[in-house]
Amino acid sequence: MSIKAPGNTFLKVNLITIILLFVLILAGGVVRSTGSGMGCPDWPKCFGRYIPPTSISELPANYKKVYADKRLAKNQKFAKMLDVFGYSQLAMRIRNDRSILVPEEFNSARTWTEYVNRLIGAISGIFLLLCAAYSFRYWKTSKLIVVLSVFNVILVGFQGWLGSIVVSTNLVAWIVTVHMLIALAILAISIATYHMAKVQGRYKVQSKPFVAIVTLLVLAMSILQITFGTEVREKIDAVASHLEGSYRDSWVQRAGDIFAQHRDVAVVVLVVNLVLYVLIRKGFNRHSIQQQLMSFTFLMIMLQIVTGIFLSYWSLPPFAQASHIVLASLIFGAQFYLLLNLFSSVNVQGAGK
């Protein structure tokens, strides 16, 4: 019993962490789609407060200059770091970016949107720390759970810093893609530690390597599609900036080849998931975790297609943008957990026919 109780605690905390990470991805999508990234121009406080202001009257008269100067100083430090790593051209572009000097207007809705995002991020960080702390109960039986849990805390700290660079710089578009991929890595590690703790000492190795290979291929396609999706968003941001927010209904058309690639890959993703769905249906009974995960994945893909249509034909409504990104992460999470369960499972009865 003394071993079981800590394990149960770790599983519960880890599961809550996974849920919070999905909520955080949703919150990040809302921030991105509403342009609220600079709603709080400083960090970790928001306008120098733990509880942000609700009215411009609560701010000093020179707040625009104060926070524009702080943003400039932050970007200069980032440019120096890029110089160290040999990205001198990019560093020079950041130093010469005049848009950084344009002060941000206070907007209460954007400020509180970003504040809620940070709050969810802080709570997620606390639960990741709890996961790391409870993981040491597995030190004697599974050191990998401990190593991954601790590494995830370090990774989320780096992610927080990178997120601040995303909203602070206007030119480093690729950071948005890296930021999203790291978010998926953090999510994957949390899912992996949850699964390892759940099946520890009760492994049932599956004997369907072909299904596992197809699942790995499908997962890789999903990651590629998410990467294309963030690049589409980066391109649309550039178009929106060039047009100064006007002609919103033409932004998608102006995105160019990357949007066409994203749309074409979506068709491939649908086809390979159909193939995987058939394989799972044939290889596992309807009560198995594998079939449940595949059915959930397929439902998310259908919803993803619907939000994609909204984005393409209804001028990128913010609710569709946020939904699109969280659905993509749910698909990734379900496929990754399916892959783990194809290699090992505690569901002996539902393992195979």
Report the first-to-last Cα separation within the chain, whole angstroms.
34
**Omega cis (within 30) before 6:** no
How far is residue 224's CA from residue 218's CA, in Å, rounded to a whole number?
Answer: 10
- Whether 244 and 196 share a structural domain: no
- Whether 124 and 7 share a structural domain: yes
**Which of 333, 341, 328, 331 has its CA nearest to residue 211?**
341
Q: What's the domain range around 93?
A: 1-201
- Whether 52 and 174 share a structural domain: yes
- Whether 230 and 117 share a structural domain: no
- Whether 44 and 168 share a structural domain: yes
Write out the chain's pLDDT in tens, 353 residues: 334 445 689 999 999 999 999 999 999 889 888 888 778 888 778 888 889 999 988 888 888 888 888 888 888 888 888 888 887 887 888 888 777 667 677 889 999 999 999 999 999 999 999 999 999 999 998 899 999 999 999 999 999 888 777 777 765 667 778 888 999 999 999 999 999 998 876 656 555 788 989 999 999 999 999 998 888 877 777 777 666 566 666 777 777 777 778 888 889 999 999 999 999 999 888 888 999 999 999 999 999 999 988 887 787 788 888 899 999 999 999 999 999 998 775 443 333 43
- Whether 148 and 220 share a structural domain: no
- Whether 160 and 231 share a structural domain: no
How far is residue 115's CA from residue 118's CA, in Å, rounded to a whole number?
Answer: 5
**Which of 9, 46, 23, 35 has its CA nearest to residue 121?**
23
- Whether 171 and 286 share a structural domain: no
Helices and strands: H and E segment counts in the chain: 11, 0
30 touches 322 (CB < 8 A):
yes
How far is residue 246's CA from residue 135's CA, in Å, rounded to a whole number?
Answer: 51
